[in-house]
Amino acid sequence: MSDLPATVSVREVGPRDGLQNEAPVPTAAKVELVNALSTTGVRRIEAVSFVHPKAIPQMADADEVWQQITRNDEVRYSALVPNLRGAHRALGSGFKEIEVVVSASDTHNRKNINRSTEESLDDIAELVSIAHGEGARVQVIVSTAWGCPYEGDVPVERVVGVAARAIKDGADTISFGDTTGMATPGRVTALIGELRMGHPDVDVNLHFHNTRGAGLANVMAALQLGVADFDSSVGGLGGCPYAPGASGNVATEELIHMVEDMGVDTGIDLEAMIDAAATAERIVGRTLPSQVLRAGPRTRTTPA
């Protein structure tokens, strides 16, 4: 499959996007999970989110988690922030990579952070300026990029327009989030094609959920378009507290298993990631949806 990227960059989002949708787990367990992930070869980990504890109580101990993890110098750790206040907390804690979310759907944006999409974009412009002044990079995540649980389909032009505003205001990279697993390969192709018509050089990350079973198919479609930057979550942890039915990110070990077999390098040790998924499953106390966690890699054999 010579037309695929030779390598892809994977950002592990389980410690943030995964655990925020679970019952709160102890700080020590979160630290254990980040530390386990830091030894798998993954080079980017979304470690915490600086949100108000009343909004997402699962992330109330972000400062403690960040202080207690054993940091690997080869891993880039990032934090998600909802607004300027969160950005100041992240920058004050020493983060040099932050992500901020804005919904393409105005209804979802209001449900998520109690303001319109345009109001969020205004704040993001100021946030980007402040972060750059501190030597930090900002990724703007456009959520509900392939549909909204309240509004239904979101027009491609609307999604690209939100991304274009963020790019104009200085965003270093753009991510598109499939918040409720409404993407399909054809819709992925349409959105990426529309974006590249106006912004061919922008760095793009894609964040797929497997809510309707299309997560890896969407990854494959994006790979064929040359996209080489994906989010995934250990064990398939995750969802969205403000999007009904948004269960399950693409599982990191399933993503690795698929793309490595196609000759696309991730730099991640699959067996180590499966071990980390087992740790995540123990921490949350429930069976996680990852099939590779259950079955192991294709190359694993049983003695005759």
Average pLDDT, consecutive stretches of 10 residues, N- to C-terminus, the chain (304 residues): 87 95 94 98 98 92 98 98 95 98 96 92 98 98 96 97 98 95 97 97 96 95 98 87 64 98 98 98 93 93 82
Query: Catalytic positions, please?
Result: 240
- DSSP structure class, residue 23: S
Residue 4 counted as domain residue: no
Beta bridge partners of 97: 137
Sequence-distant (≥ 6) Cβ neighbours of residue 173 within 8 angstroms? 137, 139, 140, 202, 203, 204, 205, 229
Residue 302 counted as domain residue: no
pLDDT at 1: 46
Residue 41 counted as domain residue: yes
Q: Is 179 left (phi over 0), alpha (psi -120 to 50) or beta?
A: alpha
CB 14 within 8 A of CB 32: no
Residue 301 counted as domain residue: no
Residue 235 counted as domain residue: yes
Residue 303 counted as domain residue: no
Domain holding 170, by residue range, is 9-295
Structure tokens at 7: 């390598």
Residue 148 counted as domain residue: yes
Give the CATH number for residue 209.
Answer: 3.20.20.70
Number of domains making up the chain: 1
Residue 56 counted as domain residue: yes
Q: For the whole prediction, is pTM greater than 0.85?
A: yes
Q: How far is CA 14 from the centre of its chain?
A: 8
